Structure 1
């Protein structure tokens, strides 16, 4: 036993005798190149005259407990960090939604929808222990509110291409983009009343370092489309999302066709 540890134990023994209260000493020892954590508990045993008659010392190997505690602390730090990021996103969405709406009713309607989009993605990320979410699961979750089934074969909404795990940050922002595209389609496009058409959603390899997300919407029965120049949804699609995922985007809404392409660096994929 090394002198610093011996001295620490001697001090604890002396204090246990003096005050009559249990003392705890934590220490580590190396064995075959591996560090082990121990906990020594020192109890003073007394007789009726209140004079110490002896000591009880127990030493426990608490390596596994300490490892679990370290993992829990790391997890809590990660949760705190991600919670702050999510709150920052929510705050930004609230401010920008308010800036681009004229009435409190319109603000509440749009903000609730965007908040639900973030919440749906957050549920997927949390269920994966913060690893991210499958691309197909993300698309299905975001389009579930439209009431149209997402299918792998031709239909109103067809999902094609790769199905990798998308990292948490990219998943949150891509989910927000999907929400804006789906909402716009319900209001003015292929999923809206009085219109028909089809939507193809895909994720494909653009090159060795990039993936490309594509939303391609064909619309029948629509001759006009509201201007997108000052809408927050357009800002999300063209600026917020690509900047947040270190990518680039193009958005071309036309009366009978909508095409959105988002380039995503491969390192944004989850593990």
Structure 2
């Protein structure tokens, strides 16, 4: 730096220099001539695992390193205090190896006022091998999980296609219904793969299914259990809630201006108890609750999850209750 810049900066030189040191990606420490620590950069704290600077302020600098490196650190510090630039390899107690350089800091008269240390972690061959092994293990786990989910998805699609084929009177009817179920499954799969977590949350499933074609203020969802649910629960809820919503729009409460739907889901041990209640806004005679194509598909989809649904008529709309494993 030129002299003009130094003179301009000089009134705040200490704070400016500390700010510059604190921006370094390395572990920067400033050491008093007696060997005590007077500054450590933010990245230095993070890299060494030290929670608070005041815990090490004034402590001997060489104690930052493990026992086997402390004697060498003290020797390097002594050489730097005599005006020598010194370098050595040090180890921390966590097994991390560091490359460390220590140099004297002089004032304008040439007097050594402080020592400065720059340290950076060094990857060892063993660490690289261990990292590669962890990465390979993670890839294997992901591949197995993907294969499991793919098999599960194929099974679900096969079951749904058979159910729809049994109740479809024409190819066009089959195609429309099958595409609708594939859309529900696609939304479920997006929940299972878009994040780092293995499973989707119940709130996500409900929001994606019920708001996938536009948020309807006539649909009320009671507070949901917290936590995450497994693949099968995500897929089953996406299919069943999607079909219930479609039926409500076509034939049920949501086909009426004053219609309302209430969804209530409660945790019952490891299972979920789901109740879908429709209110058309007025008394209506009970329709046929068995044999209808929409309700039959819903009944069969729920039964694939190991539960028999309870389908009833409240006088103002249909109510469907069922259980599903939550995990």
**Please, what TM-score do these two structures have when normalized by structure 2?**
0.55
Segment of structure 1 superposing worse, 225-234 or 138-147: 225-234
In the alignment, structure 1 residue 211 sits paired with structure 2 residue 272: yes
Q: Deviations over 1:125-165 (max 9, x none)?
A: 1123462222222112112244333xxxxx51111122432
Name the structure 1 match of 2:301.
Answer: 240
Kindly report which structure 2 residues correspond to 1:3-82, keeping only aligned pairs within 5 A, or say none. 60-61=125-126, 62-82=129-149
Cα RMSD, aligned residues only:
2.6
SS of residue in 1 equivalent to 2:262: strand
Provide the C-alpha distance between the structure 2 equivalents of 1:70 and 1:224, rounded to a whole number of angstroms: 60
**Which structure's residues are more often strand, by fraction?**
1
- How has the CA–CA distance of structure 1 residues 169 and 209 changed in structure 2, closer, same or farther, with 3 Å as cutoff? closer
Is the contact made by 1:247 and 1:264 (CA closer than 8 Å) also made in structure 2? yes
Kindly report which structure 2 residues correspond to 1:104-115, keeping only aligned pairs within 5 A, or say none. 104-115=171-182
Unaligned residue ranges in structure 2 (runs of 5+): 1-123
In the alignment, structure 1 residue 196 sits paired with structure 2 residue 258: yes
How far off its partner does 1:167 sit?
1.2
**Please, what TM-score do these two structures have when normalized by structure 1?**
0.65
- How has the CA–CA distance of structure 1 residues 75 and 210 changed in structure 2, closer, same or farther, with 3 Å as cutoff? closer
In the alignment, structure 1 residue 264 sits paired with structure 2 residue 264: no
Name the structure 2 match of 1:162.
Answer: 224
Q: Deviations over 1:159-180 (max 9, x none)?
A: 1122432211111011111011
Provide the C-alpha distance between the structure 2 equivalents of 1:107 and 1:250, rounded to a whole number of angstroms: 26
Name the structure 2 match of 1:174.
Answer: 237
SS of residue in 2 equivalent to 1:264: strand
How far off its partner does 1:235 sit?
3.9
- How has the CA–CA distance of structure 1 residues 184 and 224 changed in structure 2, closer, same or farther, with 3 Å as cutoff? farther
Provide the C-alpha distance between the structure 1 equivalents of 2:196 and 2:283, rounded to a whole number of angstroms: 43
SS of residue in 2 equivalent to 1:71: helix
- How has the CA–CA distance of structure 1 residues 148 and 232 changed in structure 2, closer, same or farther, with 3 Å as cutoff? same
Kindly report which structure 2 residues correspond to 1:113-128, keeping only aligned pairs within 5 A, or say none. 113-128=180-195
Is the contact made by 2:218 and 2:260 (CA closer than 8 Å) also made in structure 1? yes
Provide the C-alpha distance between the structure 1 equivalents of 2:238 and 2:289, rounded to a whole number of angstroms: 20
SS of residue in 2 equivalent to 1:89: helix
Provide the C-alpha distance between the structure 2 equivalents of 1:80 and 1:63, rounded to a whole number of angstroms: 26
- How has the CA–CA distance of structure 1 residues 130 and 146 changed in structure 2, closer, same or farther, with 3 Å as cutoff? same
- How has the CA–CA distance of structure 1 residues 204 and 122 changed in structure 2, closer, same or farther, with 3 Å as cutoff? same
Provide the C-alpha distance between the structure 1 equivalents of 2:309 and 2:195, rounded to a whole number of angstroms: 27
Unaligned residue ranges in structure 1 (runs of 5+): 1-58, 150-154
How far off its partner does 1:239 sit?
4.0
Provide the C-alpha distance between the structure 2 equivalents of 1:233 and 1:84, rounded to a whole number of angstroms: 27
Provide the C-alpha distance between the structure 2 equivalents of 1:200 and 1:77, rounded to a whole number of angstroms: 39
SS of residue in 1 equivalent to 2:291: coil
Name the structure 1 match of 2:161.
Answer: 94
